[in-house]
């Protein structure tokens, strides 16, 4: 990889990250009105499903090494970040502490009715992103 190719991948990554940030804020503001605790997960689902689909389609299209690197690694890599998925998944899965002290000696996770559904939603998100990427790759090879 030349210096110019690396700069093109980095620039595309910046564009992807900016697009993710903008879309993430918009989706969180829309979802937070009805499902406050799930807004980060819904935002991640939409962003990463779109990015995973795009990456699967790009990989199956055989666009050439340079285009695949710039669009796949740079743009899609900046748009769908594994670290963002892990941070949002873990922070939404860990129950927040109650503002008022509880007399119960049970751990906070046992007192939180939302905690199990957060874990399930997080697992479903990770499985769905993988499935969407595989489906797009398959569709790119068999349909287009």
Amino acid 97: pLDDT: 55
- State both tokens at 59: 């990989």
pLDDT range class, residue 103, cuts 50, 70, 90: very low
Half-sphere exposure for 77 (CA within 13 Å, toward CB): 15
Residue 138 DSSP one-character state: H
For residue range 53-102, list pLDDT tens digits in order.
888 888 888 889 999 999 999 999 999 876 666 666 666 655 555 444 44
Residue 74 pLDDT: 94
- Is residue 103 within 8 A of residue 117, CB to CB? The reply is no
Report d(CA 71, CA 83) in Å as an integer.
Answer: 19
pTM: 0.67
User: Each residue of 6-52: pLDDT tens digit?
Assistant: 999 999 999 999 999 999 888 888 877 776 666 677 787 788 888 88
Find, among 53, 50, 56, 35, the residue nearest to 121 by Cα: 35
* Cβ within 8 Å of residue 85, ≥6 positions away: 44, 48, 125, 126, 129
Q: How many residues are given for the chain? A: 144
């Amino acid at each position: 990889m030349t210096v110019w190719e690396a700069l093109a991948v980095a620039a595309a990554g910046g564009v992807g990250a900016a697009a993710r940030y903008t879309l993430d804020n918009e989706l969180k503001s829309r979802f937070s009105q009805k499902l406050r605790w799930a807004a980060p997960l819904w935002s991640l689902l939409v962003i990463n499903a779109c990015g995973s689909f795009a990456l699967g389609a790009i990989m199956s299209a055989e666009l050439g090494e340079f285009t695949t690197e710039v669009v796949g690694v740079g743009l899609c890599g900046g748009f769908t970040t594994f670290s963002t998925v892990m941070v949002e998944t873990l922070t939404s899965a860990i129950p927040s502490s109650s503002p008022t002290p509880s007399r119960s000696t049970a751990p906070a996770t046992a007192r939180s009715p939302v905690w199990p559904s957060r874990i399930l939603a997080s697992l479903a998100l990770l499985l769905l992103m993988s499935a969407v990427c595989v489906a797009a790759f398959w569709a790119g090879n068999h349909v287009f």
